[in-house]
Chains A and B, each alone.
Chain A
Amino acid sequence: MEDTLHSLMLGFSVALQPSNLWYAFLGCLVGTLVGVLPGIGPLSGISILLPITFGLNATQAVIMLAGIYYGSQYGGSTTSILMRIPGEASSVMTCIDGNAMAKKGRAGAALCIAAVGSWIAGTFGIIVLTIVAPPLATLALRFGPPEYTALLVLGLIFLAYMSSTSLVRTLLMACLGLFFGMIGIDNMTGHFRYSFDLPELGDGIGIVPVAVGLFGLGEILATPSKNVIGEVIRPKLRELLPSREEWRQSAWPIARGSVLGFLIGIIPGSAHIISSFLSYALEKKVSKHPEEFGKGAVAGVAGPESANNAASTGAFVPMLALGLPTGPITAVLIGALMVHGVNAGPQLITEHPDVFWGFVASMYVGNLMLLALNLPLVGIFVTVLRIPYAYLYPLIIMFCVIGVYEVSHSIVDVWIMLIMGMLGYALRKFGFDPAPLVLGLVIAPVFEQSLRQSLIMSNGNYMIFTQRPIAVMLLIVSAGLLLMSAISFALKRKDWRAKLAEVEAGEGSS
């Protein structure tokens, strides 16, 4: 412990050097912008700025690039709340209640809670990272294919709880997402599936064009038909601060989101996205007023926004301690370190203590900067709403197209985005929630691959899932949840039918 404190002091001495402070600030600022702009995710932001870092030293490079990553988790909430367009895939859940709060005139409060929640979760994540990085990284390594499969089964079952419409509709959307996720080269046999001879489809349908199309374009297409003429929210300055009641309601969700997010973050995968989904489901389950979710529940903003920040910090644990990327973003960061001759791995802490501890310390500083950056700017972001739709929406469509094209310079991606936009519009009109579709798409390739890898390992024997303690535990939790939902499903059968009828009548609520 004392060693840790000493090392951390060394880290702060590195992180507080003016040039390092500057790069941390730059990273956080770019991250916030990347987060605000739909379609441009942290991965493309980091990739675009990667060449610039070749002129810097390793510490500066990793401080700046990591700043973009966790900074984007702050900014992502802004457009979610104000425009119901997730700036980041991980802010999808914030759209639901954040935007509902904005419609009730609590846009400022929602933004404020998201920023403060992000700060608390981010700082919490770094404290845990500082203390327990090595033992936790070992746990993440024990997540082999069977554990993944079990985790994703659990994730899918959680998904069933998130339905703001009906259970059936949610599962239908999730299945559609899983189906889209099947498109592309089969990793196990090399066959092309549903790719219609388009090489671009060989890699499958990207998450970015689908998310931007469904949430960005679909929303914009749906807006004019909704008759929301001139309903621009003009929050007064004092409304920017959440009320005491709202603070009270967000305290526990922030705490739960921080812990949940961090734990999911250290597990490889699109952790920051999955964590926000799970946090939302969790908050809805533990809430005394689950009926408020979807209509502007404070917990529905505070939980997921905290979770995605904690997850982005958690993702650094296996990266720093073992040199193992948990996703494409940490993979790029490892690449950036390697260019500077620093090998992320078990020996990073001993061989390059200045890089490791400087980086850790810079995240404490960076999170403070982000809070300072985001809170005063909340007012500026709110004014975005005052721009008439006639100007704002074409601009957003432009950003959607450019952003999607920018990811892999593929015109096919732009077409996918446009088609998904039409689909998103249609789904909205018929009262389907597109969020489960995106989650299905995200987990489909991982789910399929880990299931098939597990079966390769066991030579086709499904009992492998019962032979691994972590997998068994996850599956038991899944079974329990399924059982509980089945019981309530059977008991409230009439209610559920009544609800479905309501949904079909266009008054969807859970």
Chain B
Amino acid sequence: MSASFDRLSQLCAKRYSVDASIIKPEGDVFETLKIDSFQAAELMSELEMEFDVEIPDYELQDIKTFGALSGAIDARL
């Protein structure tokens, strides 16, 4: 996995008080973090600022897993 996946999992673990070990590339972001649509929007803001990128919503529409999410971030770095 990419370096951004490690940063992503650390940020999510800290932000949502979960063990980083449960965050796996194939894991579903919503189910793993138990977040709703409002928290997902906040997470987007945090990720964009952490990685200093902008990720348009339409690039995230089909993204379900942490691996795909880190891939979307990598594509913008």
State yes or no: do A and B come from one complex. no
